[in-house]
Structure formats: structure tokens, C-alpha cells
Structure 1
Amino acid sequence: MLRFWLPLVAAIWVAGAAVAGEPLSRPGIDAPDLARLGPHAVGLKSTVLIDGTQPDLALPGLTGTAQPSGRRVLPIDIWYPAKARAGARPVSYADALPGEPPLGPAPFTVKGLAVRDASPDGGRYPLVIVSHGYSGTPAAMTWLTENLASKGYVVAAIHHRDPDISDASKAGQPMLRRPLDIAFVARTLQAEARTGRLPGVDPDRVAVIGYSMGGYGALTVAGAALSPTGRAARAVPGGYLQPYLRGGPRVSDLRIAGLKAVAVMAPAGGGSAFNAWGAEGLAELRTPLLVIGGDRDRTVGFNDGVRTVYEQAVHADRYLLVFQNGGHNIGMNAAPAGMRNRLWDLDWFEDPVWSKDRTAAIQQHMITAFLDLWVKGDQSRAAYLTTDVPISNDAKWPSGGPSGYAAISPGGPGAPWKGFPRNHAVGLELHHAPAAP
């Protein structure tokens, strides 16, 4: 069942109270080249999708083998290229994240640049599905959703409405729901685009982006096959994940037609502790892949986690972007003022080492290059994703290269990565591996 363009008043509201700072979707002067906002104004609409086929894992006493009926309600926020309107008032986003136990939810607001219900500009654009982290919210990822919409993408972010992350007894719920939610939303929006009820979307050009638990879901729908012995298979009650495991009868339900690329930030699921797919399952992924992580990620792990996904997805053309000494929280906006009074609240958003405007801008640059290359077919973007200097600190400014304090690197042999300002491609790694035959 589909209900389009219903306002989600509780989640998003037109700016009234002052929210400090510029939207993180608008990069600063030190951002790499492709991070900049694109040529389009950004509109925002919201809808509610209802999946009547998912089992309701929140039902009490869920131990039997009969699948319990469910009615999965999924609010969706959609950003899109829009017609600019003089004097239009941008939105602010209001939501909450779980507070430090025993405290209740911690509310926050984030300034945006999108205009609610702005008129679409009449173009036809690829569809990008965005899946947030465990207990997260799309309001915490507007640094990316607004930025991509300005560059000619229709971006649909799902409110997964997870259990509180502190309640370990419910940890199995998102392991089932994430891939089912993503696949259902993508297929539903594609169907609406084909019938004209969702104008402006090209249903045959789709990408999926996931952060943390959203990365687990994104990799699964992109083709990574869930392992029968992995943590996800063990954690989902009632055996309801079994039909979707490698070789199961419903694996095809998780696949998305027209999927051209998948990007994951600090993805859950890799490594020996979670082992959602194993080497055999990751080897089934053939969708072009961008993996982003910090090498000090203590939430999902790096060498035995994020890097594992990159190394074992051997049949995908893939990239690995590493923030040296970076942690897990790379997928979030900067911490709003109301989330800076408790360390728990701050740590939802901020990294102990990297400033958020830097991690956001670098990812905006790399994700844009990746999507433009693999989804839009812009071959000029490949130069931004390949380098013979994988450790950025080892690069040298080319002799006779661009001059001036704010010169931009042209890339090339031994040079800093293409598109980065002089002295600003530091503390990073970029690796690339072509798909194995």
C-alpha cells in the first residue's frame, strides 16, 4: 500500500526556531572539488510505505514456526532536484536518538537547505536509496541526502524505526528488516516511477547507500549472500531469516532490478564476530562497490570488519576509502547544539579525531565520483577514484602543476588525489581492485 507525499510533521518541520551553523550538505572552502553543491535547487517530500508481508518481530512470545502477520510502516523522506523559488524558506529537521540509559530519547534539530514541497524541475534522475544506522534517522544524514539531490539524484531515505540500540534483546530485528526494508522501498518506488505516480525518477538507474547497520542491509540487497552460520541467521528469532540465506527460496526477494552501485560507510556485518555473509557470500556480490571506513572503528571493526568486506567482495569492481585514525561515526551530521551536553549524545555524531566538516566533504566528493561513474556513466569521474599513491600522505605536488595557495590537484602519477586542494588530501587511503573473473 502506498501513500505519497504525506507530511511527516513529527519528523520534519519548516524552520521556526534558530538552528546554529550552515547545513553540512553545503561544503566549506577546503572541500575537494566534487563535494560542492550541484546546479539544482533541492526539494523535499515525504511519504509512508506499508509492507504487509514482513513478519512482525516485535510480537511477544515469538518462538513458533508460523510466520506472524505484520504491517511494516515505513516513513520515507525524498529529496529531489527542484525549481528554485525566490524567498523560499528551507526546512529544519527535528528528530531524536536514544539517550544514555536510563534517560529517554535525546531530541535534536538540524538546519537544512531543502525546500518542502518545491516543484520538481522536470528532469529524470537516478534513484538513490539511503539506509541509516541502528537506531538512527534520516535527519542525521542530510549532509549527504541534500548534497546528492543538488547533483541530479532523487534520494529516498528510510525511517527504519529500530528498537533502542541499548536493548540487546531486540538486536535481531534490524538484521531481518534492513534488507527487506531496502528492497521493498526500492521496488515500490521503481513501480511508482514506471506508472508515472513518482515523476522525475529513472527506475532503471538505482544505487543504494548504507551506514553501519544500513551498510549491512545495502550489501545484502546488492548481492552479498547471507551465511547460514552467521550472526544474523542466529540472532533473528523464529527462523524467519532462513528463506533469505544463501541458497534459500526467497533470496531473489532481496534483489533490486536496475541496481548499478552500492556505497557503504562503516558497514556492519563483516569480520569474524558478525560474519553475516562470510567469504563465500561476499564473493557473490557483483555490484560496483565503494566501502568507506575509519581504521580505528571499534564498533564494527576495521581489519576484521570494514576491510574484510572490501577484500572478500572479489567479483565486484570495488574501492576502499580509509580515514586514518577515524572511528565509526562517519555517516552522521555534525552534532547539533542540543547533542553537545553529554558525551553519549555527542558520540552519536562526532569522531574523536576527524572534524565532521572534513569527513562529510571528503565523502561527498568520493561518493559523487563513484555514483556519477557507475550510475550516470560519466567516465571522466574515474580519475577521481584511481591513484598510484594509495596513502595520501605519500603524494607530492607535481612540478609545474597548478600554482596558487588554493590550487586543486590535477591528479596523475605521484600527485595528490585529483580534485583535492593543495595540502588537504592528508590522513587518507584509497584502494581499488577490479572485479575478478
Structure 2
Amino acid sequence: MIKKYSFAFTFTAVLFLSSFTHSFGQTNTKPFVYGDLLPDAPELAARGEYAVGVQTLDLIHANQLDILNYGKGTDSLYNRPLKIEVWYPAEAGSNELISYDEVMGQNGSPTRPIIPFTFLGRATRNAKPAYAEDSYPLVIVSHGYTGSRYLMTYLTENLASKGYVVVAIDHTDATFRDAAGFQSTLLNRSLDDLFVLNEIARLGNQKDSFLNDLVNSDNTALIGYSMGGYGAVNVAGAGYSPQAAQLFGGMTGGSKALLKRSMGNPEFEASIDPRIKVIVAFAPWGMQRGVWDAEGLAGIKIPSLFVAGSKDDISGYEDGTKAIYEGAVNSDRYLLTYIDARHNTAPNPAPAESLDSARHIDEYLRYADSVWDMRRINNINQHFVTAFLGFYLKDNGAYKAYLDVNANSDKKEWPGFKPRTTVGLEMDHESAN
């Protein structure tokens, strides 16, 4: 938890602004990077054995419905651009500090102008991949509205170091830089995810691609946060309810298009992709708006990990994420709850630039939680996502104990956690029907 002493906030700012870690009067020139371990980090939060490489790719999803300009043109179709970031296991010696270019603010908002900033990671741009006898499982990461492919680098780098190829998407019309009408996110989120899966599979078989023989797209996890979670739940098999189409109001084209992703629609049923083995949904949006019903949630038949704050005021908890968890009756599923946290259970910590009192407070609140230290949340997420993917994607039975934390304990001491460090956490598990 965040300490109440007045120096704690200033101390955090110094960590980022000076790129030095200062502890108990001693200076260390090693900078703190998002995802680095706090003293109370659980066991599986540590990075893995691989160095990490990173590359940026630009994709084009051709002939997509231009929902934001529907009815204004002759065909309302466009070529939808998608920028992705790919982290992957790299040859030894490639774990350099890297600077990521990001922005804060909100496209089109006069009170929140776009402000560029940079932050550090531990990866090497265009490093030589560490090819292995078996190609690595694929993890696709989908941000919220608004966000970016860099919103969860603490997790994307961490998973790549553990033998995954991790692909994070910049969802067009939903990033800080290009935020546009919400209808685009409602329609395109799951379509973007499936398109990126197909593109990575194609590149994995293309001789001149660095992904050739590196990635196994037949063994894929989809991780989504907020609207990314909304997309992940749909891709996993939960067709939208008939009520969901009403989110488009009188926009007939949008309603018809969303119905193609609805339960019972043959096109949706045919799109459920067996290559996607599991989902991780952080604070998935939509349950409070009637996006899913019991029939739809019962369509999720793959293992799922849901993560939420018990005071989530964006996606909801009891009638939001927890209701999705309870309704996914045909999924072997887990629910990790941060007690008293709100919506921000997935992002990186707030950037140093957001600490400036002259900034709009939403630049800080876009990342931060009012109760929990985001670095602590990051470490716990690294731990449990590692266990979940390790068990279900890599078929490593040793990880099961880290998930079934309440199985053989009447005390709140969980495998991999230091004594007295599980306060504020709950983990629920239900087997599939």
C-alpha cells in the first residue's frame, strides 16, 4: 500500500526524474524501470532467463467498415492502419536500457493537449532473436480507450524474457494520439485482435521475417485491459447480446456490424479461433451496459484470468468484472481482486511528467490508483500472469500451486509471496461446468 508520509510522493518523483534509485541514504546509478522488483515483489514477478528484443511493425487491415464516416461515402470502407510493438526473446547481451516515445493527453481535448514524453525499458531495439528448438507461444496485448501499445511495458518485457513473443497493438481511433468516436472501438476491438493474430501467423511462416520459426501462433494468449478486455471476452467466445447493438444508437450500419459479433450469429460462431488458448482480462468493460448476457458468457470455453479492483468505477466490479467471471460458467477461470482499487489495475505507473501540478489531473489518474502503489500492482500482475500462462500455454504443472492459493491454507500466506504481503488481495477460482 502507499505510505501516508509526505515524502513518499516526492520520493517516487525523484526515482523517475533523476533516473537514480535512492534508498536509506545510499545512491545507486541503476535507474528504476517499470516492472523492476520492489522488495515485497512475489516470486514469479522476476524477469526470466532471456534478454529482450523489440521491433515496431506497421500493418494494414484492408477493406474495413469505416464506421465513423458511415453513409458519407460511396462504400464506407477503408484500409485500417495498425501499429504493433513486438517484444521477443533475444540473444544474450541484448538487455540494454531503451527509451520509449509516448504521449500524454487526449486527442481533440482542449484541456488535455498532447504532450510527448519518454520512459525507460529494458530491451534492445532490433536485437537478434534467440531462436529455440520449439517456437515461442504468442501473447497479444490490447490496451484500453484511450491508451497505446506502450501502456503495459512492465508486463510485455517481462513475458518476453520468459520465452513468449509479445505483440501489443496501437488500436486506431483509440490511442492518446488519435482518439476518435467510441463506435470505432466498439466495432473494431475484437476484429483488430483477430487480424493481428492472422498477421503474426503469416509473418511466422515468412522466410524474410524475424518472426519466422520464432513464434507459435497456434498457442496464443490474448491479454486485454478495459476496452481491450471487452474485446478479449468477445474473441474468447462471448458473443455480444442483442442489447449491445443499441450502443450505436440510430447508427444502423454500426448496429448491423456489431450483430455479426453477437451470440448465435453464424459468422461470429465461425470466427471463434482455436489458436487462442486463454485470455487475461483486466477490468473488462461492458457488463454494466448489457453487452453480455448469460448465454453469451457461457460461450467462453477456454481458461480465463480476470483481474479487477473492488471499487472499479469504470467497468464495475460486482455488476462488472465479477459478474463476467461468475457468468463464464464453461471456463476454468480465476478472479484476482485488488481490494479498494479502482479501474487502473493494468497500466504502467504514472509518468513523472504527470506529477506536475500544472497538468490536468487526468494525466495522473489515467495510470495511478488512489490506494495501491502501481509498482506493487505491476509486480503482482507479473507474478500471476506468469503462473497462468506458464500452466496453460506451456503446460508446466509446477505453476498450478501459484494459482490455487487458497487450496490448502487457512492462513493468508500464498505460494511465492513473502509473509504478510497478501493483504488487500483475493483470488477466486471456479472450474468449468
SS in 1 for 2:302: coil
SS in 2 for 1:388: coil
Identify which of 364, 371, 377 aligns with 1:353. 371
Offset of 1:172 from its aligned partner? Answer: 1.3
- Letter in structure 2 aligned against 1:299: I
- Could you tell me how far apart the structure 2 residues matched to 1:89 and 1:149 are? 14
Is 1:91–2:98 an aligned residue pair? Answer: yes
Partner residue in 1 for 2:173? 162
- Could you tell me how far apart the structure 2 residues matched to 1:135 and 1:288 are? 27
Offset of 1:357 from its aligned partner? Answer: 1.0
- Could you tell me how far apart the structure 1 residues matched to 2:64 and 2:55 are? 25
TM-score when scaled to structure 1?
A: 0.84
Identify which of 211, 230, 234 aligns with 1:220. 234
SS in 2 for 1:191: helix
Partner residue in 2 for 1:140? 151
Offset of 1:108 from its aligned partner? Answer: 2.7
Q: Do the aligned residues in 2 keep the contact of 1:220 with 1:254 (CA within 8 Å)?
A: no
Q: Do the aligned residues in 1 keep the contact of 2:98 with 2:122 (CA within 8 Å)?
A: yes
Q: How does 1:46-125 map to 2 (within 5 A)?
A: 46-59=56-69, 62-63=70-71, 68-85=76-93, 89-99=96-106, 101-123=110-132, 124-125=135-136
Number of aligned residues:
394
| Further displaced range: 74-83 or 331-340 | 331-340
- Letter in structure 1 aligned against 2:158: N
Q: Do the aligned residues in 1 keep the contact of 2:406 with 2:414 (CA within 8 Å)?
A: no
Is 1:320–2:350 an aligned residue pair? Answer: no
- Could you tell me how far apart the structure 1 residues matched to 2:86 and 2:285 are? 25
SS in 1 for 2:191: helix
- Letter in structure 2 aligned against 1:97: M
Residues 27 and 169 (structure 1), Cα distance of their counterparts in 2 relative to 1, 3 Å cut: closer
Partner residue in 2 for 1:209? 223
| Further displaced range: 344-353 or 257-266 | 257-266
Q: Do the aligned residues in 1 keep the contact of 2:240 with 2:259 (CA within 8 Å)?
A: no
SS in 2 for 1:310: helix
- CA displacement, residues 197-254 of structure 1 (integer Å, 9 cap, x when unaligned): 4221012210000000000011111111111112675456513222222222421464
Residues 18 and 257 (structure 1), Cα distance of their counterparts in 2 relative to 1, 3 Å cut: farther
Q: Do the aligned residues in 1 keep the contact of 2:144 with 2:174 (CA within 8 Å)?
A: no
| Further displaced range: 277-286 or 411-420 | 411-420
Offset of 1:311 from its aligned partner? Answer: 0.4
Partner residue in 2 for 1:419? 416
Q: Do the aligned residues in 1 keep the contact of 2:280 with 2:305 (CA within 8 Å)?
A: yes
Identify which of 52, 64, 72 aligns with 1:42. 52
Q: Do the aligned residues in 2 keep the contact of 1:172 with 1:232 (CA within 8 Å)?
A: no
Partner residue in 1 for 2:8? none
- Could you tell me how far apart the structure 2 residues matched to 1:424 and 1:363 are? 14
- Could you tell me how far apart the structure 2 residues matched to 1:167 and 1:24 are? 25
- Could you tell me how far apart the structure 1 residues matched to 2:376 and 2:92 are? 28
- CA displacement, residues 258-292 of structure 1 (integer Å, 9 cap, x when unaligned): 21110011111223xx2212121011111100000
Identify which of 297, 303, 313 aligns with 2:318. 303
Identity of aligned residues (%): 38
- Could you tell me how far apart the structure 2 residues matched to 1:116 and 1:26 are? 19
Partner residue in 1 for 2:301? 286
- Could you tell me how far apart the structure 2 residues matched to 1:104 and 1:418 are? 45
SS in 2 for 1:244: coil
Offset of 1:24 from its aligned partner? Answer: 1.6
- Could you tell me how far apart the structure 2 residues matched to 1:210 and 1:103 are? 25
Offset of 1:160 from its aligned partner? Answer: 0.5
Q: Do the aligned residues in 2 keep the contact of 1:130 with 1:210 (CA within 8 Å)?
A: yes
SS in 2 for 1:321: strand
Partner residue in 2 for 1:245? 262
- Could you tell me how far apart the structure 2 residues matched to 1:85 and 1:41 are? 7
Residues 169 and 211 (structure 1), Cα distance of their counterparts in 2 relative to 1, 3 Å cut: closer
SS in 2 for 1:103: coil
- Could you tell me how far apart the structure 1 residues matched to 2:259 and 2:52 are? 41
